[in-house]
């Protein structure tokens, strides 16, 4: 709008040569519509004693109007509104990409009344209702399984890294993703009281406690603005000419802050998008390099989020190949979450599998079958405890992570231990954060069990852990750390959303939950720690180039202020000179989008 008004003014003045009143009309429109709104906002900042970089522009607009320098005032409106529009445009583009990725909580539940199935809104589900959850659907409310067997993925809600077996009597939580089989559940809570709804409540409360971030332009403006006002006031005082006050204000208008920094931010947003990183809050690009504490969720962030067989303890002179062959052959017929890692381990060792007969997998009895005329059983520690076989329990290793125990002809044959294994590059990534990015404290805050969290911490080199944490507890930890230093939080689950919202910089790892991506300031789309490192480098480089452009431009503007103070630079020439300065600082800021080297250094 401001640019169109200025063009219309010049055309009416220079081309059609209409009377002054008519060619000034477009400028009046720009100053009234655009300038008045900006000036009101700046007055509010001044009342709160916030001396931001925009204050000079506001003073310049008012002074230009009082001295009837309307063209100068309109140019300043263009400068001021242009920088804000650039940044808002970039953020709208980034947010539109997230909208396409959003996943929704089901709005309907399948309620079973005798033989009839009715779809009802989930807010109409009552305690005691029987609901059907089809394969790959999201559980609408908390409840108990009453029919069928299957598995559910609760990792993004609880931090438990594995698929959880569900049999009659098992608890299910809203927001969990059902596996390949249909489950019938009985609702134990209404939708508004279920786990998913409670996490959303915590997240909404967390957003209100987001730490206030002081933008880079405002930090620089806090020093530059008083300096410019002092020079302008001295020029007016000693020369007795108000026009010199305007001249200083015009050349002092902080376009390097108003334009160069937003352009650098747009470059950072654009480069991030090309690398699979969506920036939702542009301020985080200015803040990451100042974060000194980094908090990680465990499951799916530093790990792959799936169980892997990590150790096999053999008994009764059985070899590892033998026990794996028996276990994998039997697991072929099971949908238990631990069947896949056992079969995968046997496949990696090229162990041939046989055929099993008389297979049984009853609730609480484990997996049983016959292979080559031998009775094979895969059970849990609880089965042995029920039978009170204390001598066998003493032979087993201490429980760390998930486990299963193999019996051959009622003889203890093997103990299998499973862990959620670290990502291949987790240790190298953690090790380089201190020397390369000045992260002084690192910690894991997870909803998973302490044994699992401690195992991971030892594997990747993190000393400080918090295990079995609820979303509320995660928020409390982050808020406490925010008091000490700026905090960056990396997580991927719905249970991380409140902590992401309250941290200085919240980074969602992957596209697993729309709640998580909405709470985060940035989203890493492809769940790669390399992308996180690229994001850190993009932010650092953006800040460096933005400071070069802003401080360099302000230095040149300060020379112009001195010329204007001594009467060598009239307001209109100052406005044009400021535009020339803008061109150079913007060209420098554009370098952000074109990195010259690899952005990964571990």
User: Nearest CA to 474 among 155, 199, 211, 176?
Assistant: 199
Helix/strand number for the chain, H first, E second: 23, 22
Tokens of 550: 């802003």
Highest mean pLDDT among 160-169, 232-241, 334-343, 360-369 belongs to 232-241
Contact 261, 282 (CB under 8 A): no
What is the secondary structure of 47-103 as a DSSP string? HTT---THHHHHHHHHHHHHTT-HHHHHHHHHHHHHHHHHHHHHHHHHHHHHHHH--
Residue entry with tokens 């044994």: 451
**Domain 108-139+142-188 fold:** 2.70.150
Q: Which of these CATH numbers, 3.40.1110.10, 3.90.1150.10, 2.60.120.10, 3.40.50.970, describes 305-419?
A: 3.40.1110.10
Q: What is the pLDDT of residue 52?
A: 62
Question: Residue 94: CB partners within 8 Å, gap ≥ 6?
Answer: 269, 273, 278, 279, 280
Question: Residue 576: CB partners within 8 Å, gap ≥ 6?
Answer: none
More confident residue, 205 or 318: 318
Question: Residue 230: CB partners within 8 Å, gap ≥ 6?
Answer: none
Q: Does the structure show a pLDDT above 80 at 225?
A: yes
Tokens of 283: 């301020």
Strand order in the sheet with 487-491: 277-279, 522-524, 505-509, 487-491, 293-296, 441-445, 464-466
Q: What is the pLDDT of residue 491?
A: 92
Q: What is the pLDDT of residue 270?
A: 84
Q: Does the structure show a pLDDT above 60 at 145?
A: yes
Nearest 5°: phi and psi at 173?
A: -120, 145
More confident residue, 333 or 118: 118
Strand order in the sheet with 171-172: 116-121, 108-113, 130-133, 183-187, 143-147, 171-172
Of 236-250, 396-410, 554-568, the poorest mean pLDDT is in 396-410
User: Chain centroid to CA 428: how far?
Assistant: 22
Q: Does the structure show a pLDDT above 60 at 203?
A: no
Report pTM. 0.71
pLDDT band, residue 261 (cuts 50/70/90) = confident
User: Nearest CA to 427 among 391, 456, 465, 451?
Assistant: 456
User: Chain centroid to CA 481: how far?
Assistant: 18
Domain ranges of the chain: 108-139+142-188, 276-303+423-536, 305-419
pLDDT band, residue 22 (cuts 50/70/90) = confident
CATH architecture of 276-303+423-536: 3-Layer(aba) Sandwich (3.40)
Q: Does the structure show a pLDDT above 90 at 211?
A: no
């Amino acid at each position: 709008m401001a640019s169109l008004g200025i063009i219309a003014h010049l055309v009416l003045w220079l081309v059609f040569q209409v009377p002054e009143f008519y060619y000034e009309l477009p400028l009046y429109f720009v100053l009234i519509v655009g300038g008045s709104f900006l000036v009101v906002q700046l007055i509010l900042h001044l009342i709160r004693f916030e001396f931001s970089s925009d204050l000079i522009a506001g003073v310049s607009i008012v002074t230009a109007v009082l001295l009837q320098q309307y063209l100068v005032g309109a140019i300043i409106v263009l400068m001021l509104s242009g920088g804000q529009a650039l940044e808002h445009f970039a953020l709208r583009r980034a947010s539109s990409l997230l909208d396409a990725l959003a996943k929704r909580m089901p709005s309907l539940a399948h309620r079973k009344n005798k033989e009839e199935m009715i779809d009802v809104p989930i807010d109409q589900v009552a305690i005691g209702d029987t609901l059907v959850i089809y394969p790959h659907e999201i559980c609408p409310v908390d409840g108990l399984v009453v029919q069928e067997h299957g598995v559910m993925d609760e990792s993004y809600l609880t931090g438990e890294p594995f698929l959880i077996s569900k049999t009659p009597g098992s608890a299910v939580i809203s927001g969990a993703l059902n596996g390949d089989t249909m489950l019938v559940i009985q609702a134990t809570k209404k939708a508004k009281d279920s786990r998913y709804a409670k996490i959303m409540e915590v997240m909404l409360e967390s957003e209100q406690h987001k730490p206030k971030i002081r933008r880079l332009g405002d930090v620089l403006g806090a020093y530059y603005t008083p300096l410019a006002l002092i020079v302008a006031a001295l020029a007016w005082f000693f020369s007795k000419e108000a026009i010199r006050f305007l001249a200083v204000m015009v050349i002092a208008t902080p376009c390097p802050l108003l334009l160069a920094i937003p352009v650098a931010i747009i470059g950072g947003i654009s480069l991030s998008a090309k690398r699979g990183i969506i920036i939702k809050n542009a301020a985080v690009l200015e803040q990451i390099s100042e974060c000194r504490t980094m908090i990680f969720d465990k499951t799916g962030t530093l790990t792959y989020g799936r169980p892997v067989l990590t150790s096999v303890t053999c008994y009764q002179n059985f070899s590892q190949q033998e026990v794996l062959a028996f276990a994998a052959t039997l697991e072929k017929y099971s949908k238990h979450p631990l069947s896949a890692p056992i079969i995968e381990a046997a496949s990696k060792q090229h162990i041939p599998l046989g055929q099993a007969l008389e297979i049984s997998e009853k609730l609480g009895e484990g997996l049983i079958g016959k292979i080559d005329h031998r009775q094979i059983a895969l059970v849990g520690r609880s089965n042995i405890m029920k039978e009170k076989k204390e001598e066998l329990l003493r032979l087993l290793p201490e429980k760390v992570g998930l486990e299963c125990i193999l019996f051959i002809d009622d003889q203890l044959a093997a103990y299998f231990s499973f862990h959620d294994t670290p990502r291949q590059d987790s240790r190298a990534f953690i090790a380089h954060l201190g020397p390369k990015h000045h992260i002084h404290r690192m910690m894991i805050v997870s909803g998973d069990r302490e044994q699992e969290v401690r195992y991971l911490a030892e594997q990747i080199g993190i000393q400080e852990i918090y295990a079995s944490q609820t979303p509320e507890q995660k928020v409390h930890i982050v808020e406490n750390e925010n008091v000490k230093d700026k905090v960056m939080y990396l997580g991927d689950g719905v249970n991380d959303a409140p902590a992401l919202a309250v941290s200085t910089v919240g980074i969602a790892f992957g596209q697993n939950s729309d709640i998580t991506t909405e709470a985060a300031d940035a989203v890493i789309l492809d769940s790669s720690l390399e992308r996180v490192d690229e994001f850190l480098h993009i932010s650092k480089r953006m800040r460096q180039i933005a400071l070069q452009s802003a401080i360099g431009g302000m230095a040149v503007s300060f020379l112009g202020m001195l010329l204007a103070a001594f009467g060598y630079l009239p307001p209109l020439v100052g406005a044009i000179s400021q535009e020339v300065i803008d061109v150079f600082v913007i060209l420098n800021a554009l370098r952000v989008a074109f990195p010259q080297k690899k952005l990964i250094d571990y």
